[in-house]
A and B are shown apart, each in its own frame.
Chain A
Amino acid sequence: MTQLVLFNVFNGLIIGAFYALMALGLSLILNLSGVINFAHGGFLAIGGYLAYTLIPYLGFWGALIASPILTAFIGILIERVLIRRLYGRDPLYSLLLTFGLAFMIEDGTRFIWGAQSLPFQIPSWLSRPLSYQYFFLTGYRVFMVLLVTAAVGGLFLILNYTRLGVRIRAGTLDLETVSVLGVNVRVLRNLNFGLGIYLAGLAGVLASGMLGLQPTVGDNLIMPSFIAIIVGGLGSLPGTLVGGILIGVVSGVTTVFLPSASEAVMYVMMAAVLIVRPRGLLGEEGRF
């Protein structure tokens, strides 16, 4: 029993790490630009499919590095051409636009790569179970947790110690002042969008290694990411991180006792947070 719980806690941690990676990207974009990026799941799929295409040429490691960067470039391009026009208008419009983008990306990936699920090659030494004695755990899962940890660590290093990161954080608090101080807000938002999409692309490569690839791969991950942001608190990146891991672990543990409720428990948590603490666990008072 303990073993089963432990296994599911670890599983939840992995899933939670995913949610967190997705949610951090969403949160970055939401905080600085006020845009809910509905197409985030689509970008995740693009990341996975690009990696699939690149693996024969670059190998797994090359694709792991190149694919998220390419995805981020696509994101930057889309921000520049489409999303930028909607800043400062009712959030309704950006929401509808990314909604349409999500449709187009899903259909586009289906058109290019086909609707059937594609196998995704990961290095064989990673897909081997680590131990047969305790519980079933492939090296890939451990590797994923390590990589997500590294990515999140990297993100917080960027945000705290680089000029871009400091500006992003400042812009989140008071965009007008940042603009008056001579920062080009358009470029800042553009790069910030790219950063968020990079995280989606990375999550895409990792998710494909575990779940396989199909055009709707992002669909199951986007709602939990929303919940992670709401539970963690809008406007707070550490909150988003905590929220993602929390709902992952809680839904993992719920799987042991009541498998059919593993999805529902996330929504229950969200409702509880909204009743008790509407701003979220680490959210600021009065931001929304």
Chain B
Amino acid sequence: MKFDKRAGDILVWAFLLSAPFWLPMIGSYVELGTRVVIYALAAMALNFLLGYTGVLSFGHAAYFGLGAYGTALTIKYVYPSTPLGMLVGIVLGTLAAAVIGPMIARLRGVYFAMCTIAFGQVFYFIAFQWFSLTGGDDGVSAWHRMPLDFGFTTLDILNDNKAFYYFVVAIFGICAAAMAFLLRSPFGRTLLAIRENERRARFLGIPVDWHIWMSWVVSCFFVSIAGTLFALMNDFVDPRALRWDQSGNFVIMAVLGGMRSFWGPLIGSAIFLVLQDYISSETENWMSFIGLFFVLVVLFFPRGVLGIIRRKATS
């Protein structure tokens, strides 16, 4: 069986667009679908760096969280507008990534991973300790997303959970298209070259550090978009949104779905969140099971679901 790429795309979109109709039928709920799409965007953004540039970041939760905090604080204190909140969140997350980028773009492998973890925690501590602004451990509450006003019509994403789902899917679609476009462009091809053989890429005169910095910023840009959506979904944000275990969740989603495939992180996100949803409703010790899940994925599914399917298809 040959795995047809276009068939895969159509299948993914068919699933995403019809989800609100069949999710309640199988005993689930629309919000779970929204969560899956938001986490999928975050994991795909991470995979831009992890799978396509070959650089291991373990601190993406920070920029996810910055997006979320930017949105929440803007809507609560500045002006109650969903697009404005999102804009501030995205700018905040991307700017932070752009500033930190040059410091870590020179590093590789484990060293890069360690520095991203450590830098990620900076924002956790800021969110935790700046009580007067962020509410510390209690988070930013008492605000909610606003209906979208297009002038000629309004989309009530506040009360209609299906409308919010489609709003999230629309943004997911734009971001996915943008990432696919970037990966097909000369810039994206250069990233692949760096992943495959950094030394050769350097000999060809490619400014490797600059490309890694750019890839890092692009990746953090998309992850902060996911962060803003996350804040809008919950109408709430707390420091756990940007803690290191969140970064780990993104990485495991990308690995579980398949790092070398475009839609892999989406599948990983769906499996992970459905499982987490189920386990945390069944037992108090869900952390153990999630931990065990990490261990099992690493030991038995290092190539991810799509990696396995693809290998079966080629053999």
Q: Are A97 and B294 in contact (CB under 8 A)?
A: yes
A230 touches B118 (CB 8 A): yes
Is A101 within 8 A of B118, CB to CB? no
Query: How many B residues, CB 8 Å from partner?
Result: 40
Contacting residue for A226 out of B114, B245, B292, CB 8 A? B114
Secondary structure call for the B interface = helix
- A94-139 contacts to B, CB under 8 A, are 95-97, 99-108, 111
Known: A82-B299, A111-B288, A270-B118. A96 touches B110 (CB 8 A): no
Query: With A82-B295, A103-B294, A111-B285 in contact, is A226–B110 under 8 Å at CB?
Result: no
Stretch at the interface among B67-75, B101-109, B199-207: B101-109
Residue contact A36 to B114, C-beta cutoff 8 Å: yes
Q: How far apart sit A264 and B128, CA to CA, in the bound complex (Å)?
A: 12
A93 engages B118 (CB within 8 Å): no
Any chain A CB within 8 A of the CB of B143?
Answer: no
Interface string of B65-86 (1 = CB under 8 A from A): 0000000000000000000000
Query: B297 contacts the other chain (Cβ, under 8 Å)?
Result: yes
Min C-beta distance of A249 to chain B, whole Å: 19
A159 within 8 A of B: no
Contact A100 B290 (CB under 8 A): yes
Task: Answer yes or no: B121 CB below 8 A from chain A CBs.
Answer: yes
Q: How far does the Cβ of B39 sit from chain A's closest Cβ, in whole Å?
A: 16
Interfacial chain B residues near A227, Cβ < 8 Å = 118
Among B107, B108, B110, contact of A34 (Cβ-Cβ < 8 Å)? B110
Q: Is A260 an interface residue (CB 8 A)?
A: yes
Instruction: Tell whether, in the assembled complex, residue B287 and residue A103 are in contact, meaning their CB atoms are under 8 Å apart.
Output: yes
**Residue from B56, B107, B287, B302 within 8 A of A288 (CB atoms):** B107
The residues of B that contact A163 with a CB separation of less than 8 Å are: none
| Main SS class of interface, A | helix
Instruction: Assess A97 versus B287: contact at CB under 8 Å? Given A91-B56, A226-B114.
Output: no
Partner of B56, one of A95, A263, A275: A95
Q: Does A271 contact B103, Cβ atoms closer than 8 Å?
A: yes
A250 at the interface (CB under 8 A from B): no
Whether B175 is near chain A, meaning CB under 8 Å from some CB there, is no
The residues of B that contact A36 with a CB separation of less than 8 Å are 110, 113-114
Check if A91 sits within 8 Å of B118, measured CB to CB: no
**Which residue of B119, B285, B299 contacts A267 across the interface (Cβ within 8 Å)?**
B119
- Among B50, B104, B295, the most chain A Cβ lie within 10 Å of the Cβ of B295
**In the complex, what residue of chain A is closest to B129 when comparing beta carbons?**
A260
Cβ-defined contact, B121 with A288, below 8 A? no
Contact A288 B110, CB 8 Å, known A92-B251, A93-B302 = yes
CB-defined interface of B105-146 with A at 8 Å, one 1/0 digit per residue?
011111101110111011001100100000000000000000
Q: Closest CB of chain B to A214's CB: distance in Å?
A: 15
CB <8 Å contact, A96 and B252: yes
With A85-B299, A278-B107 known to touch, is A103 a contact of B114 (CB < 8 Å)?
no
Among B117, B255, B293, B297: residue with most chain A CB under 10 A? B117
User: Which residue of the partner chain, among B108, B109, B285, B294, contacts A99 with CB atoms under 8 Å?
Assistant: B294
Known: A93-B298, A108-B288. A100 touches B293 (CB 8 A): yes
Q: Which residues of B contact A30 (CB under 8 A)?
A: 110
Let me know if B291 is at the binding interface, CB within 8 A: yes
- Tell yes or no: B213 within 8 A of A by CB: no
A234 at interface (Cβ–Cβ under 8 A)?
A: yes
Compute how far the CA of A250 lies from the CA of B58 in the bound complex, rounded to whole angstroms: 26
Task: Confirm or deny: B248 has a beta carbon within 8 angstroms of a beta carbon on chain A.
Answer: yes
Q: Which residues of A contact B295 (CB under 8 A)?
A: 82, 97, 100-101, 104
Q: How many angstroms between the C-alpha atoms of A30 and B146 in the bound complex? A: 48
Docked Cα-Cα span, A99 to B298, in Å, equals 11
Among B111, B114, B248: residue with most chain A CB under 10 A? B111
Q: A20 on the interface (CB 8 Å rule)?
A: no
B292 contact set on A, CB distance < 8 A: 100, 104
A73-86 vs B, CB cutoff 8 Å, 1 = contact: the mask equals 00000000010011
Interface string of A10-46 (1 = CB under 8 A from B): 0000000000000000000010001010000000000
Give the contacts of A193-245 with B (CB-CB under 8 A): 223, 226-227, 229-230, 234
A131 to B209 CA separation, bound complex (whole angstroms): 55
* Residues of A with C-beta under 8 A to B285: 107, 111
Can you list the 7 inter-chain pairs with the closest CB atoms, starting with the nearest? A100-B294, A103-B291, A104-B291, A107-B287, A288-B111, A107-B288, A100-B291
Q: 6 more A-B contacts (CB under 8 A) besides A96-B298, A100-B295, A104-B292?
A: A91-B109, A99-B248, A100-B292, A103-B287, A111-B288, A226-B114
Residues in B lying within 8 Å of A, measured CB to CB: 50, 56, 58, 103-104, 106-111, 113-115, 117-119, 121-122, 125-126, 129, 245, 248, 251-252, 255, 285, 287-288, 290-295, 297-299, 302
